[in-house]
Structures are given as C-alpha cells and as structure tokens.
Amino acid sequence: EAGVTQFPSHSVIEKGQTVTLRCDPISGHDNLYWYRRVMGKEIKFLLHFVKESKQDESGMPNNRFLAERTGGTYSTLKVQPAELEDSGVYFCASSQWGEANEKLFFGSGTQLSVL
C-alpha cells in the first residue's frame, strides 16, 4: 500500500511567484491535514479536510494560502504570491475518519525556499 506522497520534494521560487504543493493521502483516508515548519520553529497545524470539505482552517496564516481537495482525493496548497517568510517544510498527513485511535500517516514533506 502506498503511503502519503507529497510533490515536489523541493521547490525554490522567487518572492512574488506562485507555488502549488500537492499531497496524495493514503487511499480511503477521509482526513487530510497540512502542517508547516519554518526554520528553527516547531511544526504548526495549517488546516484539516474531511473528504472535500474544510473542517478546520484555523491555522492558515493569511489569504495568500489556498488549499483545495476537489473530489476528496489529493489536495493542493497554493501560495500566491509567495513571501520570504513562507519558506519552510510543508507536511501533509492523512488518517481514516471515525476511528477512536486516529493514527496519522505523514508524507516526507515539501521543502519550500522563497528567495
């Protein structure tokens, strides 16, 4: 069974450009989460999808970030326009809905560098 996959693994862009990160969760997982770690800081929660619906987007930093999960399968996180402080590692995780012990499965992350 394939795990959670993220693409690209690395992205280097210039300030003001647009970048789109993709996350493919484990097949059948309704929950999908995005997280971010900026250098030197702890990982922070960004948002949570249940299928195609945004359940909780309390961690999204500002309106330059747009997350979608059309069809309830893979998700994209778009940053437009990117700023220097957006640099960091973006992680995605998925889990099955409704399990009492909801184990999270993480991807390897996308390293984003905004120059």
Partner 1 sequence: KNEVEQSPQNLTAQEGEFITINCSYSVGISALHWLQQHPGGGIVSLFMLSSGKKKHGRLIATINIQEKHSSLHITASHPRDSAVYICAVSSGGSQGNLIFGKGTKLSVKP
Q: Which is nearer to partner 1, 36 or 114 (CB)?
A: 36
Distance CA 56, CA 65 (A): 14
Contact between 110 and 55 (Cβ < 8 Å): no
Residue 9 has phi, psi (to 5 degrees) of -80, -30
- Bridge partner residues of 10 (DSSP): 111
Q: For 70, which DSSP code?
A: G
98 binds partner 1 (CB under 8 A): no
Residues between 18 and 77 with contacts to partner 1, criterion CB under 8 A: 31, 33, 35, 41-45, 48, 55-56, 58-59
Query: How many positions of this chain bind partner 1 (CB under 8 A)?
Result: 27
Instruction: Kindly list the residues in this chain that would bind partner 1 in the complex (CB under 8 A).
Output: 3-4, 31, 33, 35, 41-45, 48, 55-56, 58-59, 91, 93, 95, 101-109
